């Protein structure tokens, strides 16, 4: 398995990226005042061949995040049928997270990977309306992991797309920490109604037991929810994990193109997933019903850039 390691010379922070398995950043070790902080959660042995690619580190979800209902959709009058690789016959998590990527540039503190559908997964090309190129940079800047995304449409037809990441955050943030002292915060104000993993199209008020806007203790949460209505309040927004006993926080910063946050507390595992999506689950089918889903369309020969930051440091006061 091809794994790339990058590091920050000033702090000693490191990150490991499984280039041969979805370009997944599966290990990010920050160093705060001499203390190591393991940011990400992985299953034992990852990234060994045969493991589930969506259960460790930061899987990259493209050209659709989460599910497509019944693994079918219609685009510009043509019907498409995808592999049903999720329960209940749905398709899940796109085409990039379980295949090798090509490393096209690398330095001590950064690495760039590229995935082109027609080149790196040609067997999947019939499942989507067009070819695409996705480039991702990971860069360590002290205790900040910057991820840049570049989406390119090399074809002669419009490219429908949605992008998401599925980060698993390790809890608590230090070995001597306690789950009872960890809080989760996200600036979300609404919730998609979801039935068996699929949004119905209705947007609801957030019930108190799922409220994250003012912060909620991890041990009180049982989440597998699609949030929306993000209160940006500027050019970017933060989702925050606070470990009060350790005096540390992990901040995930995104631009407002990421309009949904899927929050998930994996059972039998001390972790939380805070997944920024540019569109809602099953967007390409919900869009055909006239709903505003965040589905984006990239014209032929054009490119789109966006980013996500993970920053580790002492709790801000």
* pLDDT tens profile 123-172: 999 999 999 999 999 999 999 999 999 999 999 999 999 999 999 999 99
The chain-wide mean pLDDT, for the chain, equals: 96
* Spatial CA neighbour of 223 closest among 215, 213, 211: 211
The domains found in the chain, sorted by start residue, are 3-314 (2.70.98.10)
Report the DSSP pairing between strands 14-18 and 24-32: antiparallel
Work out the average pLDDT over 160-186. Answer: 95
pTM over 0.95: yes
Phi, psi of 97 (to 5 degrees): -80, -10
Distance CA 35, CA 29 (A): 10
| Predicted pLDDT at 260 | 98
In this predicted model, what pLDDT tens digit does every residue of 258-317 receive, in sequence order?
999 999 999 989 999 999 999 999 999 999 999 999 999 999 999 999 999 999 999 976
Distance CA 217, CA 242 (A): 9
Q: Does residue 76 surpass a pLDDT of 80?
A: yes
Q: Does residue 77 surpass a pLDDT of 70?
A: yes
Work out the average pLDDT over 45-50. Answer: 90
Question: For tokens 């193109």, what's the residue?
Answer: 257
The residues, ordered by sequence, that sit 6+ positions from 211 with a Cβ below 8 Å of its Cβ are none
Count the Cβ atoms, other than its own, within 10 Å of residue 84: 15
Distance CA 273, CA 57 (A): 10
H helix count then E strand count, the chain: 2, 27
| Predicted pLDDT at 175 | 85
């Amino acid at each position: 398995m091809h794994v790339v390691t990058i590091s920050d010379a000033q702090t000693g922070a490191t990150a490991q990226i499984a280039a041969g398995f979805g370009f997944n950043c599966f290990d990010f070790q920050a160093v705060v005042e001499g203390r190591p902080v393991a940011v990400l959660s992985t299953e034992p042995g990852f990234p060994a061949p045969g493991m589930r690619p969506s259960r460790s580190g930061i899987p990259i979800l493209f050209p659709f995040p989460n599910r497509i209902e019944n693994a079918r959709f219609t685009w510009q009058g043509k019907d498409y049928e995808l592999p049903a690789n999720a329960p209940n016959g749905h398709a899940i998590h796109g085409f990039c997270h379980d295949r090798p990527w090509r490393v096209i540039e690398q330095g001590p503190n950064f690495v760039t990977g590229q995935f082109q559908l027609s080149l790196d997964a040609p067997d999947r090309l019939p499942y989507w309306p067009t070819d695409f190129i996705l480039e991702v940079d990971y860069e360590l800047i002290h205790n900040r992991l910057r991820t840049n995304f570049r989406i390119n449409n090399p074809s002669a037809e419009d490219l429908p797309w949605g992008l998401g990441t599925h980060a698993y955050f390790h809890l608590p943030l230090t070995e001597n920490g306690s789950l009872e002292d960890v809080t989760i915060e996200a600036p979300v104000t609404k919730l998609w109604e979801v039935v068996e993993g699929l949004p119905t199209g209705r947007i609801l008020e957030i019930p108190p037991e799922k409220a994250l806007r003012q912060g909620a203790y991890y041990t009180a949460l049982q989440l597998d929810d699609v949030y929306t209505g993000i209160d940006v309040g500027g050019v970017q927004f933060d989702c925050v994990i606070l470990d009060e006993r350790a005096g540390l926080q992990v901040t995930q910063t995104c631009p407002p193109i990421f309009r949904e946050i899927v929050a998930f507390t994996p059972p039998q595992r001390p972790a939380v997933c805070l997944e920024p999506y540019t569109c809602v689950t099953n967007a390409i089918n919900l869009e055909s019903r006239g709903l505003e889903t965040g589905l984006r369309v990239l014209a032929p020969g054009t490119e789109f850039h966006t980013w996500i930051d993970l920053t580790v440091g002492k709790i801000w006061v």
